[in-house]
Amino acid sequence: MTRNVHGTAIVVGGRGLIFIGPSGIGKSMMAFNCLAIARRAGVFSALISDDQVFLTPHQDRIIATCPPSIAGLMELRGSGIVRMDHVQSFVLDLAVQPVSVPGAERLPPENEYWEIGDIGRLPQIRIANTASDPLAIIGALMPPWRQESPFW
């Protein structure tokens, strides 16, 4: 079983991230910022898929795959479509939900998960869509990841 979801999936280091939320919230731009920050730090980073992501369960994990027609392409709203280094598929570790600060809860629920129907679930965090360094926020919210690599 495979589910097509609206989102943007990337790889940073050895971690798969999917950015979820409504159209126009800033998923692609936040993912692009993460890729650029990682690249400048010399950490492997690549796009999996932008706009559409195929999710497939595999054992206790969720695999993100890109539809062939959009492989390596990312839309940066207001700027256009860019070609990015990409991988065809990767295991996901975390769902990131960009949120608009004026409408966001001050303190979102702890231990939040993104439930993906019969596919499974992923730990989920929320990050303001105006954040200048979303990777630093991910590192702050995911302390075990900081022990794996100095990048986080």
SS3 state at 81: strand
pLDDT above 60: residue 152: no
Express each pLDDT in 16-25 by its tens digit.
Answer: 999 999 999 9
List b or e across 83-96, with b for residues whose CB sees 16 or more CB atoms inside 10 angstroms. Answer: ebebbebbebbbbb
Give residue 103's pLDDT: 73
Q: Is the model more confident about 147 or about 12?
A: 12
Confidence of residue 150 (pLDDT cuts 50, 70, 90): low
Inter-residue contact 5 to 84 (CB < 8 Å) = no
Distance CA 56, CA 63 (A): 5
How does the average pLDDT of the chain come out, rounded?
93
pLDDT for 87: 98
Q: pLDDT (tens digit, 9 = 90+) per residue, 134-146?
A: 999 999 998 887 7
pLDDT at 101: 86
